[in-house]
Structure 1
Amino acid sequence: MDEPVSTGRTTPRTTTRPLDEVVGEALTARVTVDERATVTGWNAGAERLLGYPADQIVGRPAAGLLAEPIPAEDLPPFARLPRWHGDVTVRHRDGRRLEIKVLAHHRTPVTGAGAHVGAGAGEWLLVSALSGQRPEPLDDTFVTWSFAQSPCCALALYDTRLRLRRANADMERTTALTERDMIGLRVNEIVDGPAGDRAEQSMARVLETGEPQYNENFLRTPGETREHAWSVHMSPLRDATGEVRGVCLTAHDMTEQYWARMRLQLIAEAGRRIGTTLDVMRTAQELADVTVPELADFISVDLLTSLDGPHEPHEPREPLPGTGLPAGPLALRRAAHQSVTPGMPEAVVALGAVDEYPEGSAQVETLRSGRARVYEMTHPAITALVARDPVRASRVREFGMHSVMAVPLSARGITLGVAVLARHRQPEVFQQDDLVLAEELAARAAVCIDNARRYTRERGTAVTLQRSLLPQRLPAQAAVEVASRYLPAGAHAGVGGDWFDVIPLSGARVALVVGDVVGHGIHASATMGRLRTAVRTLADIDLPPDELLTHLDDLVARLSTDREDDRPAADRSPETGAGGEVGATCLYAVYDPISQRCTLARAGHPLPAVVSPDGTADLVDLPAGPPLGLGGLPFESAEIDLPEGSLLALYTNGLIKSPDRDIDEGVLRLRRLLTGPQPTLNALCDSILTDLLPP
C-alpha cells in the first residue's frame, strides 16, 4: 500500500517519557568519597562498572579500588584542587584492570565568610560515563540539525537521555574540558552545583513540552576568580517529522552587560540614599551602607581632623609641595564603617575615634596624590600600615583580606578624607571598573559631606551670633516677674531669627517684646539683632505700641531695599522673595503695674495667651496687623486688664506649629498647659517646651 501523503505542516511531537525516567538512568558511575578517602556513596552505575554492590564498598577506603596506589607526594596538591579530570586505572571485582575517564568535583562545606571552593575538608564527587553506554557516533543528519538551528556561542548538544553528544570550542573553553571529556555526561555532572541542576531541570522540561527554556546562571570559569553571568537558552532539536530528538544548549557570556547594569543601579541607589541629612557622620555612614556588600566586604571612612573645627580648612604651615597637607603622619577621625560580617570585627578603630596613619600608608598616599588606587596586600602602602599595628595585621590574616581600594573624598577643592574598601569574602580582586565606580560613589558622598560640614559650621556661627544678640540676663524691674526659654531650631530647619526682650520704661512700666524674622541662618540672626536694637531705641522715646510697630515696619522695608541693592542679580531667587525682602513678625506690649492694664499691638504675630488669677487661660483678642516690611497698612492697639496674679504668655509660631499637627491644635494644647495652678514660671516654661516641641 502506498503511504498517505501529507500536504500540511507536520504537527510537532514530543517525547512523553517522565522526568524521573529521563534523569534516573544508571548510565553514569557516581561515587562520593569523604575527606578521609572513605567511600560514602555508590550508585548502580558504579556497581555496573566495577561489579561491587554498594553494601560491600561503602565505608571502605577508596584506595582499594585503584589498580595502582597514588604516590604520597601527589596527595596534598590533589586535595587543594577544586576539580580534577583524567584517566584512572581501577580494578574490577573479578580482578580485571579497567582504564576509565573520571571527572572529580571537590565539595566543601560553607562554614563562614572565608569558605570557598577548593579550601579545607569536604567530600569528592567522582563521575564516569559507562563505556558500554557511550552514544554511537553521530550521523551527518544529526549534525546538520544541531548546528543549523543553533547560534554561534558556547554550544552543546544533548540527546533524549540528556547525555552530551557534541560540544563546540566555546563550550570547551567555558568548562575547561574537551568534548571527549564531556561526552556521555549530563550537564549537572559537567557543572556541579545549583547552576548545573537548574540547567538539567530546564532541559528536561524542553523534552517534556517541546518548548524552549531560558535561565540565567552565574558560573565561575575554571582558572578565573570572578563569576560570569550566563544567559542560557535550551531549545528542542527536532527531526524531519517534528519529533524532539535532543536539546541544544547555548550559553552567552553576559558578564560585562550584567556588571554594567549593576553599577548603574548602585549609582542610582547612592543618589537616593546618600545625603538624606545635614549630618557629617550620618552622611559618611550612608556611603558605607551603600557600598557594602554590593562593592566591598568592608569599608572604612575616615575624615581629616582639621575639619572638626568651626572654621574653613586652611593651608598648614608647612605643607608638602602641591598637597596642602603637612608632612609626616596624618590624624584621621573614623566617621563610618560597614561590613558583611555582623558586628564589624574587621574594624580596629572605633567610630568617632582618631587614629594616626604613617607616611607611606594607603590612606596618606591617597590623600596626598588625590587619586584612587587598587592595592595588593603585598604593596608597601599596605604593609607599612599593617607592620606597625599587630591588631590590624591579625584582622587581615583572620579574614583573609586579599584586595584593597583607597579612594579620596574631596569636594569644591577641599580634601575631606579617604574611604578604604576591602574584600575577603568575595574572591574577585578589585578591577578598574570597580575603581571607577568607587570614585563615582565617593564623589557624590564628598559633596554631601561637605554640604553637611558647611551647614554645621554656619549653623554654629548663627547660634553663637543669635545667643550673643539675645538678653544674657533679664533687666531688673519691679513691674512683672519674667521667665523665658529660647531653643534654636532643629538641624533640619536651621537657626531662625526669633527673639524676645524685656525693656524697663518710665513710671515703673515695662515693655515686653517677642518677634520672628523670616528665614534661617546668619542673615536671619543679624537682621534679628538690628530689629531688637531698633525696638529698644524706639521704646526709649516712649512710643505707644501701634506707633512703634509703624516705625519698625519702615525699618524693615528699608532693610529689604538695602539687601536687594547689595545682591547680584544671579543670586536673586524666589526663595528670598522677588526682591530679597526681609520679613518679620512682632508683638509689642506695655504693662503698667499701677493701673494693672496692658496695651498690646501685633504685626502678623501669633496671639498672646492670658491666664486669669482663677487659672482660666484664653487668647487675647488683638487686631491682626500685617507682617513687618509690607508698608502702607496701619497697626492697631488693644488694651486689656491684667489684675495681680495674672499671667501673660508670649511666644513665636515655632512653639505651636509642627509637621504632625496644625496651629489650631498647637494653640489648644498650649491653653491646656497654661490652665490651672502653676508651681513656678520656670517650671511652666519647661513643661510647655517638653510637651509641645518634638524630642
Structure 2
Amino acid sequence: MCATESDHDYPFDAAHTAASLLDGAGTVVAWTAAAERLLQRPGSEVCGRPVRDLLAEPSTWGAVLAQRTGPPEEVWDGTAALRRGSGDCLEVTFRVIPLHASAGEHRARFLLLGAPAEQDSKWRQDLAFTQELFLQGRIGLAVFDEHLRLLRTNTQLLPYTGVPDDLRGRRLADFLRAEDARTIDEKLQEVLTSGEPLVGFNATARTLDDPGAGRVMALSAFRLQGPSGQLMGVAAVFNDVTDHERARARLDLLHRATAVLSGSLSLTRGSEDLAAVLAPALGDCVAVDLAEEVFSGSEPAAVRSRPLVLRRTAVAGHAADGLRTGVIHSAQNAPLRAREGRGTLVTGNDAPSAGGQPPRWSEGVPAAHSAMIVPMTARGTLLGQVTVWRTGKRPPLDRHDLSLLEEIATRAALAVDNGRRYTRERLTAVALQRSLLPPATTDTPAVEAASVYLPTDAASGVGGDWFDVFPLSSARVALVVGDVAGHGLHATAMMGRLRSAVRALADLELEPAELLVHLDDLILQLTAEAEGVVSDEGAAQIAEYIGPVAATCLYAVYDPVTRLCVMASAGHPPPAVVVPNGTVRYVELSPGPPLGVGGWPFEMSEAELPPGSVMALYTDGLIERDEGDIDEGMRGLADRLLRADVLGRPLREARHDVVADLPPGRLADDVTLLLARTRLITEDSIVTWQLDADPVVVSDARHLVTRQLSVWDLDELAFTTELIASELVTNAIRYAGGPVRLRLIRAGALTCEVSDPSNSQPRMRRARSSEEGGRGLYLVAQLSHRWGSRYTREGKTVWSEQPLPLQ
C-alpha cells in the first residue's frame, strides 16, 4: 500500500509507488513489491486480510474512514499509522481511488496508494514554494533550457519597455541589446558547464526598444538536473538593484569628492581634482569657477546687486573642448538663490532661446541636453560655482543628481574657504619672508651672487629659510645660509631676528665660529623668554605654539685678496664648490650642533678658492627629497650645477636651471640656493707698507698714500685719505707700538687700513674744547663712508672706506 523509499521526491511515482488492490469489503486482493519493501510484509502475509489489520491500532479504523468527506465514488486522501513487519509504526499518507466494477462483479474495487507522510509533506512544501515563487512580483525568476532558451518566467522578469509578453522559447538576445545579452548568457553558460552556482552578479539590462540607461540586475543562477542526473537547464533570479547601485555610486562619488577636496589646500589643484572626479561620473563635462578674490586670500564682497566675477579654474570631460580655464565671467545663476546654496537644474526644454540660439547654460557645450549649476557657499558667502553638463545618449540630469551636486558643492565651498584662508596666511608669510631677505642678486668686488628661494606648498606654510650676502671690511664678503626649524609665521619671524643678529654680530668682525657661539646664545635666550612668558593663558598658548627654537646656519667669509674662504657650520650641510676646471667638490668641514642646543663649540674650516669658482650654499630642502639618501641628494646637486653651466653663464640665469626639477607645488620643505662666483683683487689694486713705530713715519705715510692715489688716478681722494691714514697711523704708534702695517685696497671702494699688534679696540669719544687730542677717530668717521676695526691673529686692524669717484 505504501510507496517505496527512494531518492525521488514525488511520492506517487508510478514506477515506484506502494499500492494495493482492495475489494468492496476492504480486503487486500493484490500487493505490489514497493508495498512489500516499505511495510516489510510479503504479499502472502497481507493478501486476503482486511486492510484494517495493517493499522498500528485497528481501533482507529473509524477515524481513518471519517477522513472521507465526499461520496464513495470520489477520490479521497488521508493519513494513518501502519504497523511494519519489524514491529515499528510508520505514518503514511494514502490516496483511495475507486475503480468501476467489471461485468459480473457486484461491488466496486479500490486502488490504494500510499507514501510516507514525511515524504508527502516535503513534496507538498516544494510544490507550494515553487508555485508561490513564480507568483510573487518582487523579483524576476526564469528557467532556461540547456540551450539557454526561456522555458518559464514570472511577471517580474524585466518588466520594462520592449520586453515581449510571452517569453517562452525566446533567447535574451531577442529583446535585450547584444552586449547585455551576451554578458548574461556567458554567465549562465558557466553555470551550466561547471555546476557552480552564480550569486550576486550585477549586469546591465537594456532592451532593444528602450533608449535609456537600462536597469542594473543582480543575477543569481543554479543548474537544474533531472532524477537521473540529466541536464535540464538553469534557473536564474533577476533582482533589480538599479536604485541601490545608483545610491551607492552617488555615495561613492561623494566620498571620492570629499577625499580630493581634503587632500590639498591649493585652490587650483583642488578644483582640478574635483572636476576630474565629477567627469564622467556625474556628467560629460564639468567646470569649476571660483571668485577672483579668493586667489588673493580675500573674501568676496557680499553684494547682491551685481553678479559675482568668476575665474574658470578647472574643466574636465570629453565634451569640454569649447571650454578653457582662465576665462573671467559672471555667475550665471540667480544671486539670491545662490547664497542659499541651492542649485539650478535645466534641460533643453527648460530654457528655450530666441532666434534658435542655444540657451546660455549650454554655452561652450552646445551638445548638452541638460545641466546643473550649483553655487559654492560658505558662511553665507558665495565663493564660486560648479557646472555639470550631460550630452549624447546619457539620461538627462535629475533632481537626485542635483541634490548630490549640492552636497558636494557645500563641501567644496568649505575646502575653497580653507584654501582661501591658507592662501592669505601663506601670502602674508611669503611677503614677510621675502621682505626680510636681501635682493636675489648681489654684485660685490669679492663675489657675484645670485639666489633662489622656493617656499614650500605644505599645509603648514612657508618655513624659516634665509640667506644673506653683505660686505665686510677690506673688500671681504660674508655669505650666510640658515634654516629655522618649523613652518609658519613664527618661523619666518625667527628667521628675521636671526638674520638681523648675524648682521649685527658681523659688524663686530667676529670669526665665523665665534659668531655662531653668540648666535647660539641668542637662541637660548629667546627660548627661555618664550618658556617664561606664561603669565596668562594667551601667552602660554603662544609659547606652546612656537615651541623650542632650533635652527641651522652656515656662515662663511671670503677674502678676495687671499682667496681664502673661512667658514663654520651649525648643523648645516657643507657648501659645494665648482672649480674652473669643471669639477665639483664639497668643502670638508666639521659641522657643530644646530643652534639652540648650547654648550658645544664650533670649528672653522678654510678653503682656498681659485678665481672664478662658484660656491653653492643651500638648505636641506634642496637635497632631502622623497626621504632619500642625503648623499644621493648631494650627488644630484653636483650634477645639476654642472648641467646648469654655472661656470660659463651669468648666475642670475643659471640659478633657475639648478632648481628646474623642483616645482614649488611638490616641495615638502623650503628650498634656498645661494650661488657665489669668487673674484680676485689683483696685485695692482693692493699696496702694503710696513712702518716703524716712530712718529716721524706719519709724514712718510701721508706721502706714500698721496703718491699711490696719483698712480691710481684717485687724486680726488688724496686729501681725505691722507688725513685718514695720518690719524690711524698716529693712533697705532701712540697706543700700540710697532710694527705698523698700512694697506690701501682699490676694489669697489677705497679701503685704508692700519694694523698693529695691540688687542685694544679704538673708541671714538667727544673731546672737550680744552683738550688738544681725542678728535682723530671722530675725524676718520666724518671723512669715511664707513669705518671700524677687527681683531686679527697678530692684533687688530682699523679700517676706513670711501666710495670711489664716478668715472
Alignment of 1:197-208 (within 5 A): 198-199=183-184
Task: Please report how far the alpha carbon of residue 416 of structure 1 lies from its aligned counterpart in structure 2 after TM superposition.
Answer: 1.9
The 2-side partners of 1:328 and 1:489 are apart by 37
Q: 1:481 to 1:693 in 2, by over 3 A?
A: same
Residue 267 and residue 330 in structure 1: after superposition, are their counterparts in 2 closer, same or farther (change >3 A)?
closer
* Equivalent of residue 406 in structure 2, options 439, 444, 447: 439
Query: Partner amino acid for 1:303?
Result: L
Q: Secondary structure at the match of 1:531?
A: helix
Deviation digits for residues 483-515 of structure 1 (CA, Å, limit 9, x no counterpart):
222232354595433323334344555433332
- RMSD over equivalenced CA pairs, Å: 4.8
CA distance, structure 2, for counterparts of residue 685 and residue 304 of structure 1 = 36
* Higher relative contact order, structure no. (Cα contacts within 8 Å, ≥ 6 residues apart): 1
Q: Which residue of 2 aligns with 1:530?
A: 497
- Give, in angstroms, the shift of residue 605 of structure 1: 1.8
Match of 1:630 among 570, 574, 597: 597
Moved more, 649-658 or 239-248: 239-248
Structure 1 match to 2:330: 356
User: What is aligned with 1:602?
Assistant: 569
Residues 242/509 of structure 1: CA separation in 2 closer, same or farther (3 Å cut): closer
Of 464, 468, 474 in structure 2, the residue corresponding to residue 497 of structure 1 is 464
Match of 1:335 in 2: 313
Change (3 A) 1:598 1:366: same
The answer on whether the counterparts of 1:218 and 1:229 sit within 8 Å (CA) in structure 2 is: yes
Cα distance, 1:550–1:693 mapped onto 2, change above 3 Å: farther
Larger Rg: 2
Within-5 A mapping of 1:94-493: 146-147=130-131, 152=136, 153-155=138-140, 160=145, 167-171=153-157, 173-174=159-160, 181-182=166-167, 185-191=170-176, 193-196=178-181, 198-199=183-184, 215-219=201-205, 225=212, 227-235=214-222, 248-274=235-261, 277-308=264-295, 310-315=296-301, 324-341=302-319, 344-345=320-321, 347=322, 349-357=323-331, 361-362=332-333, 364=335, 366-379=337-350, 382=351, 390=357, 401-411=368-378, 414-472=381-439, 478=445, 480-489=446-455, 491=457
Mean Cα deviation higher: 682-691 or 626-635? 682-691
Distance 1:208 1:500 in 2: 76
Distance in 2, matches of 1:149 and 1:673, equals 75
Partner of 1:112: none
After superposition, the C-alpha distances for 1:64-108 in whole angstroms (9 at most, x for unaligned) are: xxxxxxxxxxxxxxxxxxxxxxxxxxxxxxxxxxxxxxxxxxxxx
Q: CA deviation at 1:213?
A: 5.3
> Quick one: distance in 2 between partners of 1:261 and 1:279?
29
Counterpart residue number, 2:7? 9
2:174 alignment partner AA: E
CA-to-aligned-CA distance 1:649-678 (integer Å, 9 cap, x gap) = 5433344444486332444466678899x9
Structure 2: distance between partners of 1:516 and 1:279: 24
User: Residue 621 of structure 1: CA displacement?
Assistant: 3.6
- Range with bigger deviation, 159-168 or 495-504: 159-168
Alignment of 1:539-578 (within 5 A): 539-563=506-530, 565=533
Query: Do the aligned partners of 1:11 and 1:242 also contact (CA within 8 Å) in 2?
Result: no
Aligned residues of 2:203 and 2:217 also touching (Cα < 8 A): yes
The residue number in structure 1 matching 2:120 is none
Determine helix, strand or coil for the equivalent of 2:247: helix
> In the alignment, is the contact (CA less than 8 A) between 1:589 and 1:600 conserved in 2?
yes
Structure with the higher fraction of residues in strand conformation: 2
Structure 2 residue runs of 5 or longer lacking an equivalent are: 11-123, 663-807
Alpha-carbon separation, structure 2, partners of 1:554 and 1:301: 52
Correspondence list, 1:506-517, <5 A: 506=473, 508-517=475-484
What is the CA–CA distance in structure 2 between the aligned matches of 1:9 and 1:538, rounded to whole Å?
104
CA change 1:301–1:648 in 2 (3 A) is closer
- Counterpart of 1:367, as a letter, is A
CA distance in 2, matches of 1:554, 1:389: 79
C-alpha distance in 1, partners of 2:387/2:426? Answer: 30
Distance 1:560 1:400, change over 3 A: same
The secondary structure found in structure 1 opposite 2:395 is coil
Q: Go from structure 1 to structure 2 and tell me whether the alpha carbon gap of 1:562 and 1:146 turns closer, same or farther (over 3 Å shift).
A: same
Q: For residues 493-544 of structure 1, what are the alpha-carbon distances to aligned partners after superposition, in whole Å with 9 as ceiling and x for unaligned?
A: 9543332333434455543333222234443332222211111222223333
Tell me the amino acid that sits aligned with residue 219 of structure 1: A
Alpha-carbon distance in structure 1 between the residues aligned to 2:548 and 2:252: 43
**Please, what TM-score do these two structures have when normalized by structure 1?**
0.64
Query: Hey, what's the Cα distance between the residues in 2 that align with 1:398 and 1:497?
Result: 47
Change in 2 beyond 3 A, CA 1:236/1:415: same
CA pair 412-552 structure 1, distance change in 2 beyond 3 A:
farther
Residue 258 of structure 1: how far off its partner (Å): 1.7
Q: Distance in 2 between matches of 1:262 and 1:669?
A: 46
d(CA) in 2 for partners of 1:397, 1:585: 54
Q: 1:151 to 1:536 in 2, by over 3 A?
A: farther
Distance (whole Å) between structure 2 residues aligned to residue 235 and residue 226 of structure 1: 28
SS at match of 1:497: strand
SS in 2 for 1:547: helix
Where 2:397 maps in the other structure, the secondary structure is: coil
Contact 2:465/2:619 (<8 A) preserved? yes
Letter in 1 for 2:328: V
Task: Say if 1:391 and 1:596 are closer, same or farther in 2 by CA, change over 3 A.
Answer: same
Q: 1:189 corresponds to which letter in structure 2?
A: D
Distance 1:156 1:374 in 2: 38
Kindly tell me: are residues 555 and 143 of structure 1, through their superposed partners in 2, closer, same or farther at Cα, counting changes over 3 Å?
A: same
Pair 1:681–1:603, CA change in 2 (3 A): farther
Percent of aligned pairs with the same amino acid: 37
Distance 1:240 1:563, change over 3 A: same
| Structure 2 Cα separation of the partners of residues 679 and 262 of structure 1 | 55
- Code of the aligned partner of 1:637: M
Which residue in 1 is equivalent to 2:657? 690
**1:354: how far off?**
0.9
- Structure 1 unaligned segments of length 5 or more: list them: 13-139, 316-323
How many angstroms does 1:189 deviate by?
A: 3.2
Give the SS at the match of 2:306: coil
Q: Distance in 1 between matches of 2:190 and 2:577?
A: 82
Partner Cα distance (2:616, 2:191) in 1: 82
User: How many angstroms does 1:353 deviate by?
Assistant: 0.4
Which letter does structure 2 place at the counterpart of 1:539?
A: A
Task: Summarize the Cα distance change of 1:577–1:6 in structure 2 as closer, same or farther, 3 Å threshold.
Answer: farther
Pair 1:170–1:307, CA change in 2 (3 A): same
The SS at the match of 1:266 is helix
**Structure 1 residues 559 and 682: CA distance shift in structure 2, 3 A:** farther
Aligned-pair CA distance for 1:473: 7.9
Structure 1 residue identity aligned to 2:291: L
Give the C-alpha shift of residue 419 in structure 1. 0.7
Judging changes above 3 Å, is the alpha-carbon distance between structure 1 residues 293 and 652 closer, same or farther for their aligned structure 2 residues? closer
Q: Number of aligned pairs?
A: 541
Which residue pairs with 1:77 in the alignment? none
